[in-house]
Chains A and B, each alone.
Chain A
Amino acid sequence: MALLELRDVEARYGPVRALQGVSLAVDEGQIVAVLGANGAGKTTTLRAISGTVRRSGDIAFAGKKLGRRGPEAVAKLGVAHVPEGRGTFSELTVEENLRLGAYTRRGSSEADIRRMGVYFPWIEERLGQHAGTLSGGEQQMLALARALMSHPRLLLLDEPSLGLAPLVTREIFRIVVELNQEEGLTVLVVEQNAAIALEVASRAYVLEVGEVAVSGTSDELARDESVRKSYLGY
């Protein structure tokens, strides 16, 4: 059974329907990518899962229907969402951001902060620094680390490459793959950069105006001519 399953999910912002019946599934231990042009509904798909937008249709996570659960309750179930714009608290320190990431867990977060130091070696030296003074790449890594502090069963990653230099983007995806291989972390990643997303994901969905247009394994999609033309540019 899939860890996450969406069936005919619709979502709207006021009168505007952003998703018109999206169905997708993510198995435990997989990295799955959602691709598509601007405004195709990629971000909204993640927001529908985490409950930050009003949605209808069925979303099941680990066998539980999400129903009308809001973001706080979805987070508690073990879904960590790194939103567009990262959602770090720039006025708080790196350590406080990490402690907030562990908010749904009881007990001390010190062991987990040390664990983050394994993946992001710079973090331990800069715990007292305000998050707002970090570089864009560091903020994205902090957002990722904060999400991992909760020991999520599913990580929702919204355009981690946005505004970052190619090398930094590579580094972030390298860490995501490492987490997936070492800790079996399940990831649903939304990405504008289809090439890198297809490289790390085992499966992908291509959204067009709020619907799934194509889906398949990453290899299939990378070979698919229409996908190649529209999203890979060769």
Chain B
Amino acid sequence: MTEFFQQVVSGLALGAIYAALALALVLIHRATGVINFAQGEMAMFTTYIAWTLTTNHGWDKWLAFAATLVLAFIGGVAIQRTVIRPIERASILTIVIVTIGLVLIFNGAAGWIWTAEVRFFPSLFPNDTISVGGVAISVIDLGTIAVVLVLVALLWAFFQFTTIGLALRASALNPDASRLVGVRVGWMLAIGWGLAAMLGAVAGILTAPTTTLDPTMMQAILIYAFAAAVLGGIDSPFGAVAGGLLLGVGLNLVGNYIDFVGADLRLPVALLIILVVLLVRPAGLFGKAIARRV
């Protein structure tokens, strides 16, 4: 039972990371109908920035974390304005292919700047355990869960209670009507990209200490984030978070208790989940089904 509880907590920690990246995918998909395939590589790139600030410049870990989030936001806005905006009227396929181009650019740039060498990335939290009812729980896991939950709560409050948050939601729901009330929809899309990049940075910074920091570190995580987003409903922010946590716990338990899956077959299981959800319930657990005329 003790082990089961530990597995659930570490699954939640993994799931929180998937949730953060899934939420980033959902934010952009809701606003533009596009999946940003570069979300993982953008996250990896910003993680390198955090690493440079702490390791090369000796910044405090939390200060570097905050600075990276700000830079990620600015970077996300800049990418939308320079790369995505010129093609925003093009077909979805065009935009998706451009995001795949961004994958290659960020991957190549990271390799060129920081080399493909595997780096050690320090965690924001001490590598310690605390005892909860006799069960030893990793502080890093608890910290990871806490950071993501706090961030999600802040984002929710931002969307729900601020005027810009309201304008962001309105732009995603009905861009034409939003323009008529004076909302600058183009900038709202850019802010959406900025917020998504920020969520990605959080996912990257929380992932790197548990794996290592290298240019491919987010590729598998992005697949898990897709699975989480599809599971929860690709247009449901709540679904992305729930899907992420569910997937993290589920994969951890399956990996530990079903022998032939182990650590190696987790990714195929995630892909299987994507496939099954798309076949059986394309709207996901929390999404609304959209009827299309044929």
Contacts and interface: CB of A to CB of B under 8 A. Distances in A.
A181 interface: no
B33 to A, nearest CB: 16
A67 interface: no
A88 B181 CA distance: 10
Dominant secondary structure at the B interface: helix
A91 interface: yes
B46 to A, nearest CB: 31
B182 A88 contact: no
Interface string A53-79: 000000000000000001110011000
In this complex, the interface size class of chain B, counting residues with CB under 8 Å from chain A, is 10 to 19
A146 B182 contact: no
Interface stretch (B166-174, B250-258, B259-267): B166-174
B281 interface: no
Interface residues of A, number: 23
Given A100-B167, A103-B167, A81 B174 contact: no
B177 A150 contact: no
B181 A50 contact: no
Contacts of A71: 179-180
Interface string A10-35: 00000000000000000000000000
Interface string A111-151: 00000000000000000000000000000000000100010
B176 A100 contact: no
B180 A89 contact: no
Given A72-B184, A81-B180, A103-B181, A89 B173 contact: yes
Given A72-B183, A72-B184, A100 B173 contact: no
Contacts of A101: 181
Nearest to A85: B177
Given A103-B182, A103-B183, A104-B182, A87 B177 contact: yes
B91 interface: no
B163 interface: yes
Contacts of A150: 181-182
A50 B182 CA distance: 11
Interface string B175-196: 0111111111100000000000
Contacts of A96: 166, 169-170
Given A89-B173, A91-B173, A50 B163 contact: no
Most B Cβ at <10 Å: residue of A70, A87, A100, A150: A100
Contact of B180 (A50, A91, A92, A99): A50
A91 B182 CA distance: 19
Contacts of A88: 177
Given A70-B179, A71-B179, A92-B166, 17 more contacts: A52-B179, A72-B179, A72-B183, A72-B185, A75-B179, A76-B182, A80-B181, A88-B177, A89-B170, A89-B173, A100-B166, A100-B170, A100-B178, A100-B183, A103-B181, A104-B181, A150-B181
